[in-house]
A and B are shown apart, each in its own frame.
Chain A
Amino acid sequence: MSAVAHHTSTGLDNRKLAMWTFIGSECLLFGTLISTYLVYQGQSISGPMPGEILDIPLTSISTFVLLMSSLAMVLALAAVTRGEQRWSRVWIFATAALGLVFLGFQAYEFTHFVHEGLTIKTNLFGSTFFVLTGTHGAHVAVGVLLLLTLLVRSFQGKLGPDKAMVVEITGLYWHFVDVVWIVIFTVVYLLS
C-alpha cells in the first residue's frame, strides 16, 4: 500500500496531523522551560552569571549551523519528492551531520561551563540553563537518529517519492527543533 494513499475523515494525512499535534504540545513544554528560565533570571545568589560565561560568537556559529541544517532538510525533501535518490541521501546526510556538529558545539559548551564551575546544581542560572538547553539538545539527538534511520532506509532502496510524506514529517520535527533554538538563542544568550 502506498504511504500516501489512505483515506482519512479529515482529508488530511493522519501522521502529519499527529506530528503537528505533537509539535503543538512541545510548544507548551518549551514555553514552560523558557518561562522558568526567565522567572529565575537574575535570581542566582552566587556565580558564574550568564554575562560572565556565555560565549555569544561560538553560539552564533552553532545557531548558523542549525539554520543551515534546516535548509539541507528541505532540499532533502525536494530531492525525495523528485525521486533523486543520490541527492536525497546527500541532503539527509548533510542534515544529520550538521545536527551532530550542533551537538558537538553544545557538548563543548557544557564541558567548558562545568570547568568554569557552572553545573546544574551551582545556582538557579545553572539549573534552568542546563535543563532548557539540555532538553533541546536531547530533541536534536532524537532528530539525528530519525535522519540516520531515513538514510538507512534510502540505502535499502525504501525511500522513494511514495515515502515523501515520511520525510516531510521528519522535516517538520527537525524544523521545530530549529525554531525552538531561534527563541532560545535570543532569550537565553542575547537577552541575558
Chain B
Amino acid sequence: MTETNAEHKHPGTGTYVTIAAVLTVITLVEVGVFYVPAFEAFLAPILLTLSAAKFALVVMFYMHLKGDHPLFTAILTIPVLIALGVAIALLFLFGVFTLGGSGA
C-alpha cells in the first residue's frame, strides 16, 4: 500500500487542543520573560529556545511530520539548516557577531 492511499494516523482533537494550550502558555512565558529585568542577560537564549519549541510543536503535530514520511522531514529540515547557516554566516560577515564576543 502506498502513502498515497494509506491513511496515516493523525492525532486526535484532544492532542490538538493540548498543543494549542502549550503554545499559548509558551507565548505567555515569552512575553513575561521579555518584561522581567532579571532575565535580560539571558533573554536571547531563552527566547530562541522557546521559539524553537513552538516551531517544533507546530511542525510535528499540526503539520503531522511526527508520523509522516521521513522524506518530508528532510525536505523541511535541510532548507531550515541552510537558512540558519546563511543567517549565522551573514551575521559574522557583517560584524554583528565576532569570534571574540558580540560585535556592534
Task: Using CB atoms and an 8 Å cutoff, list the residues of chain A in contact with chain B.
Answer: 4-8, 10-13, 16-17, 20-21, 23-25, 27-28, 30-32, 34-36, 38-39, 41-42, 56-57, 60, 63-64, 67-68, 70-71, 73-75, 77-78, 81, 168, 171-172, 175-176, 178-179, 182-183, 185-187, 190-191
Say whether B10 contacts A78, CB under 8 Å: yes
Partner of A75, one of B16, B55, B59, B72: B16
Task: Name the interface size band of chain B.
Answer: 35 or more
Q: How far is the CB of A68 from chain B (nearest CB, A)?
A: 7
Say whether A31 contacts B87, CB under 8 Å: yes
Say whether B27 contacts A12, CB under 8 Å: no
**B35 (CB) vs chain A CBs: closest residue:** A56
B86 contacts which chain A residues (CB < 8 A)? Answer: 28, 31-32, 35
Say whether A35 contacts B90, CB under 8 Å: yes
**B16 (CB) vs chain A CBs: closest residue:** A74
**A35 (CB) vs chain B CBs: closest residue:** B87
Partner of B16, one of A5, A13, A78: A78
Task: Using CB atoms and an 8 Å cutoff, list the residues of chain B in contact with chain A.
Answer: 2-5, 10, 12-13, 16-17, 19-20, 23-24, 27, 30-31, 34, 43-44, 47-48, 50-51, 54-55, 58-59, 61-64, 69, 71-72, 75-76, 78-80, 82-84, 86-87, 90-91, 94, 96, 104
Q: How far is the CB of A43 from chain B (nearest CB, A)?
A: 8
A182 contacts which chain B residues (CB < 8 A)? Answer: 51, 54-55, 58
